[in-house]
A and B are shown apart, each in its own frame.
Chain A
Amino acid sequence: MTHPDPGDPRPGSDLGSGPGPGTGPGAGLDPGPDTGTDTGPGPATGPGAGPGPAIGSGPGPGFGFGGGPGPGGAFGAGAGPYGARRLSPRVLLIDPIRLLPSLLLPLAGVLIAGGFSPTSFGWAAVGVAGSAVYAVIRWATFTYHLTEDRLELTRAFIGRLAKTIPLERIRGIDITEPPLHRLLGLAVLKIDTGAGGSEQEGTLDAVTMEQARALRTALLARRPAPPLPARAAGAAGIGQDAAGQGPAAPGATAEAGPEPVARVLARVPRRWLTYGPLSGAYLLTPFALAAGAVGLVFQWGEELGLTERSARQALEWVWAHPYLLVAVAALLVTAMPIVGAVAYAIFNWDFTLRARDGYLVAERGLITRRTVSLERRRIRGYEMTEALLERWAGVARLWAVVTGLGDSATRGQLLPVTPKAFASGVAREAVGPFATSLRPHPPRALRRRLVRAVVPWLPVAVAAFVLGWAVVGVVALGLAVLGIPLGLDRYRSLGHAYDGARLSVRSGSLRRAQAVVERRAVVGWTMRQTVFQRMAGLITVTAGVGAGSGGYPAIDTGETQGVEFAHEVTPDWIRPFLDDLS
């Protein structure tokens, strides 16, 4: 290990290890925590850990730990002076139900082992009572304490565990309302510190919904804040209906007031939920269910008296009734879009994207209502994806490219499936405009796409025909023929561009994805050329980005074109190494 900080020769620690508290803006070189290589001291272990030095502290203000705030002021919420607090006691009603599945087996074991004697019931009762007491103790020994600059979570059960989360480090707040919590007016609050790994995050399970909202406001605003005007923005959305007025035009909607109040960027009307099954992902649900059932039969078959012979008989019986098979297949095929639509609708019910006080807040879900807040200054771009059917229907999904976001696949989602023009509008409004059309890649790339889509099937077909497996051979030939439109389409998808502020790359056919990323997010370039690409004069140029998936490739650009793309985006980094031209 060599450090830029010459005074710090500890092995295994990070470049970010600045001199500690009072470090100015940008302590540490690392603002992007998704490197996963951090071995420095964690940010929140033990009291007084204070500003964890390893993970990027970002460009915010330095940690001011000197001015210790009194325990009163920080947290409004109509709760009066705000000291250490417990979770909502109502969670004690949920805990036993949650513990039930894990208790079931041991309890059954005790009862069976005891031959259902009174003693065994006694022991089972002791077990149940013990777990209830355990839940109460856990609840009683856990407190959270919000001060002006940090949130402290303390568990003083067996041993004492304190977790300090500097407010500066909070990157997002995730409020989830599982069904049971919802019944009791509770919510689970998750605090995303971008540390990577769920271990590092703070979870409050559970607080009342009002408290969750107020806490979110207080945690995100990093200053005393009044509780949210309850559902001010949400109430406006009630009028929206399947048959109601069209989708809110992105941006130009429901201006609810000045900054701290949410502004609705997008509200997805319910009739757009029907686009859900187009992705194809949910289409597999019935098959997953069927496979699960088959697995279950195999697993429990012995107990149910199912032998190999009876299984064979069943198979023969099914084979003798082909109409039944066809009916089941038809049922599965018709069930696919329905099950898919239902699952999709449950997850994405009333999806609403709001802008509030430097955050984007996405809310969705029918049974479990989930609210995710993304810090806007950490958003570096967006990614729009379209599956084949979605493209045909003119719809797309939208994700934000965010630095240091754990679980970005679900958290970074800005929109579920919506018409593409709408998604583009929201992307422009929420992230930023991209003003150029994509440049196509050279025709040699088309040849390469075609070769890659067609050629692998040919030897399979030849081998199959040689061995006399005509069916396999025909299938392979069919796939090879299908490879032609696939290759053409994959080539048409390829493209890259730079508009002066953001770069964009696009690729893929069955799942076409276009990424638009800010220039300042680029941390380096990797260019790769395989032997075959070298023969074709092509090169894949990947922009390294400290956010999202980490790298966004422009696949199969021309040798000169690709280098010029990198040169166009970051001229200072490439120019010293260009041969002689410009």
Chain B
Amino acid sequence: MRGQRGPLRDPAERVSRRAIVLWLIEALVGFVLLVGGAVLVANWIGGGWEIVPDWLSGNAWMLPVAVGAVMLPFVVVEPLWRYAVHRWELSGDVVYARSGWLSREWVFVPVSRIQTVDKAQGWFERALGLATVEIRTASHAGSSTIKGLDYEVAARLAEELARRAQELRDDAT
């Protein structure tokens, strides 16, 4: 991580290293879809339409190539960058989580206001032994999703949150 700005410190815990693989897979899927879309658009442009000037339809093949060339570095960079940014911590009965890469998000959820704690696993997460913990309160802006946790860690965190939420529950909204 680059130097911390502002008064907030980094959350203590990193997510699992395998999350990098997860984000890589997701980035690749997105990349394939994007380039595939570009190929379709290029075919359409190169289809000999009257309104499309010749210089454009003649060089339509360059579109997917350009898209691919621009996006490829991000496929590699995004997972690593995310791994550096995504962190979480539970202390003082508050969940503090940071996520994002280009744009960032910090979420603070006090355990006393938690309504549900979900542990979810997608296909890829399952294959990698990862899990996502979704912490919900009465407000979308007070809810947090911690992705890319080791399954064991996620299970323990969810268990702990649920137990503490039961002890602390607080009816104010």
Interface set of A (CB-CB < 8 Å, partner B): 1-6, 14-16, 25-26, 29-32, 34-35, 37, 56, 58-59, 380, 403, 520-531, 534, 537, 539, 542-547, 550-553, 559-560, 563-564, 566, 570, 572-579, 581
Contacts and interface: CB of A to CB of B under 8 A. Distances in A.
A572 B92 contact: yes
A-B CB proximity, top 10 nearest: A524-B142, A544-B142, A546-B138, A551-B141, A32-B138, A546-B173, A4-B166, A544-B141, A544-B139, A559-B6
Interface in B98-136: 102-110, 113-119, 136
A524 B105 CA distance: 13
B91 to A, nearest CB: 5
A521 B172 contact: yes
Given A520-B172, A521-B172, A528 B104 contact: yes
Contact of A576 (B7, B94, B173): B94
A5 B166 contact: yes
A527 B108 CA distance: 9
Contacts of B11: 577
Interface stretch (B47-55, B59-67, B156-164): B156-164
A577 B138 contact: no
A524 B9 CA distance: 18
B102 A531 contact: yes
Contacts of A26: 169, 171
Contacts of B114: 4, 15, 29
Given A5-B166, A550-B141, A537 B118 contact: no
A300 B2 CA distance: 66
22 contacts: A1-B118, A4-B161, A4-B162, A4-B163, A26-B169, A34-B138, A56-B171, A58-B171, A524-B143, A525-B142, A526-B107, A543-B141, A544-B142, A546-B142, A547-B173, A550-B141, A551-B142, A559-B5, A563-B8, A573-B92, A576-B96, A577-B96
A135 to B, nearest CB: 41
B137 interface: yes
Residue among B7, B119, B155, B166 with the most chain A CB within 10 A? B7
Contacts of A559: 5-7
Contacts, number: 192
B78 interface: no
Interface size bucket, B side?
Answer: 35 or more
A16 B171 contact: no
A529 B102 CA distance: 9
Contact of A577 (B108, B136, B137, B140): B108
A467 to B, nearest CB: 13
B121 to A, nearest CB: 12
Contact of B173 (A14, A37, A403, A543): A403
Nearest to B104: A529
Interface of B: 4-9, 11, 89, 91-92, 94, 96, 102-110, 113-119, 136-144, 155, 158-159, 161-166, 169, 171-173
Nearest to A562: B6
Nearest to B116: A15
Contacts of B143: 524, 544
B110 A524 contact: yes
A534 to B, nearest CB: 7
Contacts of B106: 525-528
Given A576-B92, A577-B9, A577-B89, A16 B115 contact: yes
Given A520-B172, A546-B139, A573-B94, A30 B118 contact: no
Contact of A523 (B91, B113, B116, B158): B113
Given A14-B116, A29-B169, A573 B108 contact: yes
Contacts of B8: 563, 577-579
A578 B138 CA distance: 25
A581 B4 CA distance: 14
A523 B114 CA distance: 8
B107 A525 contact: yes
B119 A544 contact: no
B115 A544 contact: no
A577 B4 CA distance: 13
A521 B104 CA distance: 25
Given A2-B158, A531-B102, A30 B115 contact: yes
B118 A2 contact: yes
Residue among B140, B158, B163 with the most chain A CB within 10 A? B140
Given A2-B117, A3-B162, A403-B173, A37 B136 contact: yes
Nearest to B5: A559
A26 B172 CA distance: 9
A573 B138 CA distance: 17
Nearest to B137: A523
B6 A550 contact: no
B4 A29 contact: no
A14 B108 contact: no
Given A545-B139, A577-B11, A531 B108 contact: no
Given A4-B169, A6-B163, A526 B141 contact: yes
B154 to A, nearest CB: 9
B138 A566 contact: no
Contacts of A37: 116, 136
A538 to B, nearest CB: 10
A15 B165 contact: yes
